[in-house]
Structure 1
């Protein structure tokens, strides 16, 4: 077992002192980076060099890449919190859940000040009640975020001094955290498909996976491989180290059983450090209604999670023989249906739907694994759109793009958030 690299610090360790920095020098305690000065397109080495100097002071370092944004709370010579935009509370509650701590509801924890760590009130309250479990969970979050940081490049960052944040949380020595993250990042660079702990995973070959894991473990695996869950969250679901999870998924990706999806770029236009409030999922989904008919529980879950995340209302059916009545009751804006289903084929279901006067004009989209010329022709003949189910990672990316295009045309959202 590897030794624990984390120890709390009570003062600034001598080995953190930086004698020179590409960002400047002089009496400025942050190495020449002024309060509010934005440094853009910096390498990881420059960011880490600046961080070693800034850790002497107390404040918030806002860091962003093309894919993610973080807030780092530096205090008393070490790192206290590392918040990834929109994910820290969910990640913390998940890790505490693995330690037997459950929350009936999340209290009103959000702070509106953009230059403060918005999760601090919540974390402080939980730490007071469950100090050891919270300390352990925070350590995992710090290491995962620093690992993610080490696996990206081209950073922009800005420093904001803060002097009045309470100091009742553990402080972790930066040099030891950084050393651990750097060592693990080198291990991750050996993977063939996995490149980052925040990549999402989509199951491609359910039958092969079922044969490998058995009936007991398959439902959980299928639930977390719908293309909506991060690799780090999958590791939490199985209560195992993130590297072990990444190693397994990389092997499954080599066998084309799962696809490791590429990171998606951020679309926020806010200035760095100027109002980055946590992203919350919509409480009441009011987008257009979508109905999906398929005999595969895995595909139904993947469709459901993806469309709900985009903002659509979704209803599902795995029985084509009863789908028409369900569709009539639901009255969706678009219907997606498989071709090959037991009891009633997709083309026979189309005939049933078209015979209903109130359903006849609803757009239909055929979704099938058989991407053949005959199926494509029959879909056009039936006045339907056609999308092929993904079989590889390249197919998965193409499928999501085609799905976006179809939905933007047939059932656009009030605000386009199909990211």
Structure 2
């Protein structure tokens, strides 16, 4: 592992300490960039992982030929090419994921043969977007895998030029008050004020991409404008509580890259089980990640009609239920659950954004607890604190100390 002593390591320091296949953890951005400069002298894949994201960078000839973010390869390529007028009727079966190969390289290479100029623009946009995201994170793990047998059929973007291009933009991003990363999701909070600001013509599209499922970089592509310009607008809207910029979700590492940069508690079979019923995929994902990080076992469904059978099979210690769901609402689901003898005393928690006296009363009448969803990112810390306090009471972890 390379040790950071306070100054930027030079190329010789990095090359003397980094070997093929060695995982370097707890590295700073300076160390990572120094490693990139050294490794780009040959051809290979530098896999990079942070607390939130993971990438593969194809290095060759002193620069970057391709960048892939895990889980976003296909959507990003399709979106970027579509903005250039190239629509794919189908996405071919790409080669199996290999440690020392980029996932999409054969596909991009083939498109490059037919549309060289457009592909150059698309690859440059993707590389710069990923490079920006990388520069806005703080702690890294990475590993180098040589691929000298891989023919490079794409243009190589010199690292020095990329770093010069991104430096000033990073400084601008660091001045934002609410926006901190191009991969953050955006949730509309105040539709009336948004309509007043963007006008009738832009409101439908703006409302469509602020449902908590689109990243800032995706919103920029939708409006075909630079990421910084989009981020600047969203930051202003977030300051006025018109939209909420959602925090990045931590990810779990896998064995290929090594241990996570910070190890959260790992759910074990001895810890309490939690079941979540909500029609929002975003909320389900966020709750699952949060509770798993704390140490709970978590199962979930967005289909209220199937929830009772799944709860019976899963035997959780507590169930979180959204109120407003299509088909079977939360109160109807509670009645259905309580009819089951095995579930008569199961701890149930109603979770809703409508923190009204009526909902509170109905929750108590149904022998349920009540938890108000956060309406904005400013409410999130309070929500997590209330959630953790509630769980310590009704489904404590083995590490919890009850007073």
TM-score (ref. length: structure 2):
0.73
Counterpart position of 2:84? 99
What is the CA distance between 1:139 and its match in structure 2? 0.6
Contact 2:350 2:371 in 1 (8 A): yes
Counterpart position of 1:296? none
Counterpart position of 2:50? 65
What is the CA distance between 1:269 and its match in structure 2? 3.2
The yes-or-no answer on 1:112 pairing with 2:97 is: yes
The yes-or-no answer on 1:376 pairing with 2:360 is: yes
* Gap regions ≥5 residues in structure 1: 1-19, 275-287, 293-302, 316-326, 340-345, 408-419
In 2 relative to 1, CA 164–366 (structure 1 residues): closer, same or farther, beyond 3 Å? closer
Q: Can you list the C-alpha shifts for 1:66-102, whole angstroms capped at 9, x where unaligned?
A: 1111111111222101111121221111111111211
User: Quick check: 218-227 or 257-266, which moved more?
Assistant: 218-227
Report the 3-state secondary structure (helix = DSSP H, G, I; strand = E; otherwise coil) of the residue aligned with 2:151.
coil
What is the CA distance between 1:178 and its match in structure 2? 0.9
Report the 3-state secondary structure (helix = DSSP H, G, I; strand = E; otherwise coil) of the residue aligned with 1:39.
strand
Contact 1:62 1:273 in 2 (8 A): no
Counterpart position of 2:372? 388
Counterpart position of 2:36? 51
Contact 1:227 1:306 in 2 (8 A): no
Report the 3-state secondary structure (helix = DSSP H, G, I; strand = E; otherwise coil) of the residue aligned with 2:65.
strand
**Over the residues paired in the alignment, what is the CA RMSD in angstroms?**
3.8
Counterpart position of 1:336? 322
* Gap regions ≥5 residues in structure 2: 1-6, 260-274, 289-298, 309-319, 392-403
d(CA) in 2 for partners of 1:225 and 1:125? 34
Match for residue 157 of structure 2 among 172, 181, 187: 172
Contact 2:11 2:38 in 1 (8 A): no
d(CA) in 2 for partners of 1:259 and 1:244? 17
The yes-or-no answer on 1:246 pairing with 2:211 is: no
Contact 2:351 2:373 in 1 (8 A): no
Report the 3-state secondary structure (helix = DSSP H, G, I; strand = E; otherwise coil) of the residue aligned with 2:237.
helix
Match for residue 139 of structure 2 among 154, 160, 172: 154
Counterpart position of 2:244? 259
Contact 2:52 2:251 in 1 (8 A): yes
d(CA) in 1 for partners of 2:52 and 2:131? 14
What is the CA distance between 1:388 and its match in structure 2? 2.0
Counterpart position of 2:110? 125
In 2 relative to 1, CA 365–75 (structure 1 residues): closer, same or farther, beyond 3 Å? same
Report the 3-state secondary structure (helix = DSSP H, G, I; strand = E; otherwise coil) of the residue aligned with 1:25.
helix
In 2 relative to 1, CA 34–224 (structure 1 residues): closer, same or farther, beyond 3 Å? same
Contact 1:201 1:258 in 2 (8 A): yes
Q: Can you list the C-alpha shifts for 1:132-188, whole angstroms capped at 9, x where unaligned?
A: 222111111111111111111122222222111122111111101111111110111
Match for residue 128 of structure 2 among 138, 143, 147: 143
d(CA) in 2 for partners of 1:99 and 1:404? 47
What is the CA distance between 1:110 and its match in structure 2? 3.5
The yes-or-no answer on 1:84 pairing with 2:69 is: yes
Contact 1:199 1:262 in 2 (8 A): yes
In 2 relative to 1, CA 355–47 (structure 1 residues): closer, same or farther, beyond 3 Å? closer
Report the 3-state secondary structure (helix = DSSP H, G, I; strand = E; otherwise coil) of the residue aligned with 2:157.
coil
Report the 3-state secondary structure (helix = DSSP H, G, I; strand = E; otherwise coil) of the residue aligned with 2:355.
coil
Counterpart position of 1:322? none
What is the CA distance between 1:356 and its match in structure 2? 12
User: Quick check: 263-272 or 358-367, which moved more?
Assistant: 358-367
What is the CA distance between 1:32 and its match in structure 2? 4.4
Contact 2:276 2:284 in 1 (8 A): no
Contact 1:111 1:119 in 2 (8 A): no
Counterpart position of 1:232? 217
What is the CA distance between 1:305 and its match in structure 2? 4.8
d(CA) in 2 for partners of 1:146 and 1:227? 24
